[in-house]
Amino acid sequence: MQSSRSKPCSCPSLKLREVASMYFTLVAAFLVILVVALQGSAPRQSDFPYKVPLDPQGLLELSWNVSYPEQAVHFQLLIRELHFGLLFGMSDRGEFENADLAVLWSDGHNSYFGDAWSDAKGQLHMDSQQDYQLLGARRAPEGLYLLFRRAFSTCDPKDYLIEDGTVHLIYGILEKPVHSLQAINVSALHGGLQRVQLLKPNISIPQLPRDMKSMEITAPDVVIPSQETTYWCYMAELPEGFSKHHIIMYEPVVTAGNEALVHHMEVFQCAADFDSFPRYNGPCDSKMKPERLNYCRHVLAAWAMGAQAFYYPEEAGLAFGGPGSSRYLRLEIHYHNPLVFKGRRDSSGIRLYYTATLRPYDAGIMELGLVYTPVMAIPPGEDSFILTGYCTDKCTQLALPSAGIRIFASQLHTHLAGRKVVTVLSRHGRERQVVNADSHYSPHFQEIRMLKEVVAVFPGDELITTCTYNTEDRSRATVGGFGILEEMCVNYVHYYPQTQLELCKSAVDPGYLHRYFNLVNRFNDEEVCMCPQVSVPQQFYSIPWNTFNRDVLRSLYGFAPISVHCNKSSAVRFPGQWEKQPLPSITERLREPSPRCPPSPGAQPAAPIPLHLGQLRR
């Protein structure tokens, strides 16, 4: 009787490693053929809707798209002047150390592409798991287009996890031929960083009304100062008798040739308390700037490099014009000019689209987080110090309508020490939803971001905003306040329908802070002066920051009662008892999302892919 088992195969056996090697050799060969075949016309711009210049001269231009079904980002890198290759990648704060990199390099005759990583000393290593997947290259009159793909999460410990929020992109240009990846000296590269929001929300564009009009708030052909950083202020006016309208969309207007210099822009509306505001066109930090311009702080529009047009939900618009609304607007432009170009003229700004046909709801802006007060402080030398501000259930119960509000956008804000910001919605003591989070937050990249999904907030809900700070470069305490070396922790949430609640924030109870200073005096040899005439900042500055004093302050902020600011737009609190309020009790935390690992074909050989790009030049 014939056995049911298969007979041994007489063909020669191949080990799995040999099969894998043959497979990836064929893939590499196919990619070389693909690269040659793709040389010609430039890719369609519609395939890559997001675009940003990487370098100040605009020689490197990155475009990308996001595929949520694939959980991947597709990159298109335009290299206008290709020398001997480049590095492109991501790192925690924009460093070349501990970075995740896609590398194109040439020995002068042959070119290669590979997925690499850098160690703590900046030394490059070929990654054993090649997750930057080369899709092709195209030569065009304007330069070389390099196309590649990267999954959000690869579960490779050497790879960067692409997540919501800010991503620090880094680049480095190879100006000399190199014979191997390991021969690249990162410290000698001409490089830099660019911050973007890679994972743009997939939001459908609402239908726009036929009576929509537009106005441009732009700089009047200013000469960009020949210095690295400039904040430029320009005052504009709405027409006399301008009635109430709804802003339903806005977009950037960037002067051609200045795309790499215009870093971010904001349009502020001035306070209606003043009948007029002086004209001004100059640096925002100039002594010649009229002091009254400090009362122009109501944000109408905010744009940062890499952002596209901003659309309001079709049922709401941002009101401006009409009674109780100031005619005066302040445009603020941040110019980033690291190469110190001279004589560049600029007329950039923001184009507002508006309608006289009012939508069902006025949109509102509410401040969440911490009150601007020095009672909230961060000791010096901290790598990760956390402060939290609360919008309490008592405040939302009193101030929100029974049907609640809908948050559709958010702008996070700290000053220079901020490293991470997150706002969480809590209901009945249980964390329900993240409103907005940025684990790689940078104070140098702030924009209004549309949320992936609208967040419904009802009376009795709590909105808890937590900021993480780094003060390793500081020698004295950093207190809360308006100064750039002081700190803030704010989330400006955009919502509808507009309510009277404009600010819902907190700070530690001053009496408990006074007890902290007393305790420090009792347990330290050096006395902290608590004389009535000595300010809270001065008391913080005089503290000897040993481990005990740090730990007790951290503990104080974690249990002490708070002073709640539940404020109307008039800056007056809603009626009620707001002092010495207990901290919200959270009984159930949100689980940290687990990275979704893409299916792996197995260990890929850590070998670069050869490219036929011709002989490269100096």
User: Annotated active-site positions, please?
Assistant: 231, 413
Per residue, what are the HEC states of 551-563? HHHHHHHHHCCEE
With 0-12 / 13-18 / 19 or more C-beta atoms within 10 angstroms meaning exposed / middle / buried, residue 598 is middle
Enclosing H/E stretch for 411: strand 405-413
> Residues 443, 449, 454, CA angle at the centre, nearest 5°?
135
- Are the beta carbons of 195 and 137 closer than 8 angstroms? no
If one counts every other C-beta atom within 10 angstroms of the C-beta of residue 541, the result is 16
Residue 278's contacts (CB-CB under 8 Å, 6 or more residues apart) are 235, 290, 292, 293
Given a contact cutoff of 8 angstroms between Cβ atoms, the answer to whether 109 and 180 are in contact is no
The reply to whether omega before 69 is within 30° of 0 (cis) is: no
β-bridge partners, 472: none
Closest CA to 154 of 133, 131, 134, 125: 131
From 421, 468, 481, 465, select the one nearest 445 (Cα to Cα): 421
What kind and span of H or E run contains 521? helix 510-523
Residue 37 has what DSSP assignment? H
Inter-CA distances, 513 with 414, 427, 530, 556, Å: 22, 29, 11, 8
How many Å apart are CA 304 and CA 50, to the nearest integer?
13
Buried/exposed code over 342-351 (b: 16+ C-beta within 10 A; e: otherwise): eebebebbbb
Q: By the 8 A CB rule, do 436 and 422 touch?
A: yes
Report yes or no: 144 and 121 within 8 Å, Cβ to Cβ: no
Question: What does the alpha-carbon distance between residue 532 and residue 250 come to, in Å, rounded to a whole number?
Answer: 50
The dihedral region occupied by 432, where left means phi > 0, alpha psi between -120 and 50, and beta the remainder, is alpha
CA Rg, the chain, in Å?
28
Q: Which residue has the tokens 């004389």?
A: 531
Alpha-carbon 164 to chain mean position: 9
Longest dimension (CA), the chain: 106
Give the number of other CB atoms < 10 A from CB of residue 587: 9
The terminus-to-terminus CA distance of the chain in angstroms comes to 75
From CA 352, how far away is CA 219, in angstroms rounded?
14
How many angstroms separate the CA atoms of 331 and 216, rounded? 11
Closest CA to 462 of 369, 543, 597, 341: 369
